[in-house]
Amino acid sequence: MSSPELSTGDLEYTVDGGVATVRLNRPEVGNALSRTMRPALAAIWAAVMADDAVRAVIVTGTGDRHFCTGADVREVADSGSTSSGRGRVSEDIVWSPLQQGVWKPVICAVNGLVAGGGLHFVADADIVVAAAHATFLDTHVSVGQVGAVENIGLTRRMPLGAVLRMTLMGRHFRLDADRAHQLGLVDEVVAAADLMSTARAIADAIASNSPAAVSLSKQAIWAATEMPHQAALEYGWALARTQWAHPDFHEGARAFVERRPPRWTGGPRP
């Protein structure tokens, strides 16, 4: 089901069977990110969190050449600034669902080249599936910019040396899909023809689980990347105890005993 009030010419947003799909739709410029996409994508992430019918999200790009090539360099050349703002990360990095507080699972379906700011979607996704021909590079330093937020995000997925090489060599170094998989940046590599069906199968499996339990589980795991180990354990245990009072906690056990599909209640808890 399309959502015309959230879709624009540059972004497509659809919801079908509990799975939302966000498609970057500027193939003529490598699905680059523009200023006009900022408020539109921020509105989409807000809608994802507000809509209990959405259980999981797939992010992809139009075409088979580019997933996203980052900030539209033509806009930077014309204005001397990027499409991002000048405030805090959570205010400026509207591209990243993680930075926007989206605690529903996000699957990144990489359909082609990822460069620069396009790495926001990859670094901050929960699961990354890539077409076999996809490639990854960071062009920030090659166009006079600093590789920072998305590059820091990459350190949670890849060894530090790989992130530094990718960041400091700029356009002179790129990872193919297989190498990205070996390093942990990509979770699964598939034939291009199977990309969306694979991402959808993952999303459907996630959507069949308790939305509240999925959301709290995601929060626990991402928090562990930013906390000392013992603090992360305490935080995760607190989230687990929170779920004990949720109807899904009892429904899941009853459904298992009664050998029937569970009937989950409500949406996730932020």
Instruction: Round the average pLDDT of the chain to a whole number and report it.
Output: 93
Q: In sequence order, what are the beta bridge partners of 12?
A: 23
Those residues with Cβ within 8 angstroms of residue 125's Cβ, 6 or more apart along the chain or in another chain: 59, 97, 106, 107, 108
pLDDT in tens, 18-57: 999 999 999 999 999 999 999 999 999 999 999 999 999 9
pLDDT-derived band of residue 104, with 50, 70 and 90 as boundaries?
very high
Residue 91: predicted pLDDT: 77
Measured distance CA(56)–CA(105) in Å, rounded: 5
Instruction: Say how far apart CA 36 and CA 165 lie, in whole Å.
Output: 32
What does 158-200 look like in DSSP terms, one character per residue?
Answer: S-HHHHHHHHHHGGG--EEHHHHHHHTS-SEEE-GGGHHHHHH
Is 33 in a helix, a strand, or coil? strand
C-beta neighbour count of 193 within 10 angstroms: 10
User: String of b and e for 175-191 (b: at least 16 CB within 10 Å)?
Assistant: bebeebbebebbbebbe
pTM, rounded to two decimals: 0.93
Q: What is the pLDDT of residues 124-163, one digit of tens each?
A: 999 999 999 999 999 999 999 999 999 999 999 999 999 9
Question: Cα torsion at 64, 68, 69, 71 (round to 10°)?
Answer: 150
Gap between the Cα atoms of 31 and 53, Å rounded: 28
Residue 74's pLDDT band (cuts 50, 70, 90):
confident
Q: Does position 242 have pLDDT exceeding 80, yes or no?
A: yes
Provide the 8-state DSSP code for 242: H
Q: Say what the pLDDT of residue 270 is.
A: 47
Percentage of the chain beyond pLDDT 90 is 84
Q: Residue 84 — pLDDT band, cuts 50, 70, 90?
A: low
